[in-house]
Amino acid sequence: MTARAASDRLAFVAGVVAAAPGERVLEVGCGAGVLVTELAAAVGDGRVVAVDRSARMAAAAARRNREAVDAGRVRVLAAPLLDADLAGERFDAVVAVDVRAFWTPPAPEWDVVARVLDPGGRVVLGFSVMRLDDRDRVRAAVARVAGERGFAVTAAAEAATAPFPTAAVEVRRPG
């Protein structure tokens, strides 16, 4: 079975993440693993850990990325981020697409991110812009909730994807 190409929105988010060879990337809410495939290709011999609270979606992500899973370059976990066994792993980047938990208080997911993100690492949150106010509302909410954990929005981007535009914010710890 041939894996389908990433959607325009996931390809856009992968471009914003700009994962480099050798990096370690955590994807939260990986769904069927489409973005995992893009990230695994970008990091080469690096590592991607994918987490999804749905066992069905995690199984689909593992099937889609079977070769990389078997090679030990991708690990897929079926658990909410708060319960995921990250085994002391550290990451250069954390990415999530349309995972509202990152901008909806109390957002304890940021505590996990703060623990696993390497100094200088980045967080990229992609989201669909379905209403005119989504762009500014979600960016402000991310800035507020992430800011409570010592993170700051450092970049924002948007693409005219179908059926809705996709926006992304990059978040880092200052300094």
**What is the domain extent for residue 17?**
8-172
Domain membership flag for residue 36: yes
Report the domain count for the chain.
1
| CA separation, residue 14 to residues 17, 34, 83, 114 (Å) | 5, 10, 25, 21
Domain membership flag for residue 27: yes
Q: Which domain CATH number covers 98?
A: 3.40.50.150
Domain membership flag for residue 2: no
Domain membership flag for residue 94: yes
Given this model, what pLDDT does residue 5 score?
63
Given this model, what pLDDT does residue 83 score?
97
Given this model, what pLDDT does residue 4 score?
55
Parallel/antiparallel/unpaired status of strands 91-97 and 24-28: parallel
> Nearest Cα to 124, choosing from 16, 32, 31?
16
Domain membership flag for residue 101: yes
Domain membership flag for residue 17: yes
What radius of gyration, in Å, describes the C-alpha atoms of the chain? 15
Q: What is the pLDDT along the chain (175 residues), one digit of tens a residue?
A: 345 567 899 999 999 999 999 999 999 999 999 999 999 999 999 999 999 999 999 999 999 999 999 999 999 999 999 999 998 899 999 999 999 999 999 999 999 999 999 999 999 999 999 998 888 999 999 999 999 999 999 999 999 998 999 999 999 998 7
Residues 6+ apart with CB under 8 A from 162: 8
Given this model, what pLDDT does residue 1 score?
37
Domain membership flag for residue 3: no
- Written as six digits, the tokens of 124 are 């990229």
pTM for this entry: 0.94
Given this model, what pLDDT does residue 153 score?
96
